[in-house]
Amino acid sequence: MGAFGIFGPRTGHKALFYEICSLHNIDSKTRSLLHKIMDKYKSDHPGLIFIDDKYLRKAIDDEDFRSSSELLQELRQKWFQE
């Protein structure tokens, strides 16, 4: 299964991120939010947000993501069962 972007196939870490988003049925708005979180916390591997809850924990408490904190908390509980 490949991920395709506007300029052709995605490869590497971004492709994995998009594949995981697809598997979790994450809409484009939420996917964009997750990507912004990973950009802010300077991760070259956006897929880490699915296996390390520190990114969601930081974002939940971050003023920049305050308007999305409820959604982020729901995702954290769903993915990390806390």
**What count of other Cβ atoms lies within 10 Å of the Cβ of residue 78?**
10
Exposed, middle or buried, 59 (CB in 10 Å: 0-12/13-18/19+)? buried
Percentage of residues of the chain with pLDDT beyond 70: 85
Contact yes or no for 72/60 (Cβ under 8 A)? yes
Token pair in block for residue 64? 């920049």
pLDDT value, residue 1: 42
Output the pTM of the full model. Answer: 0.78
Instruction: Find the mean pLDDT for residues 31-57.
Output: 91
Average pLDDT, rounded, for the chain? 86
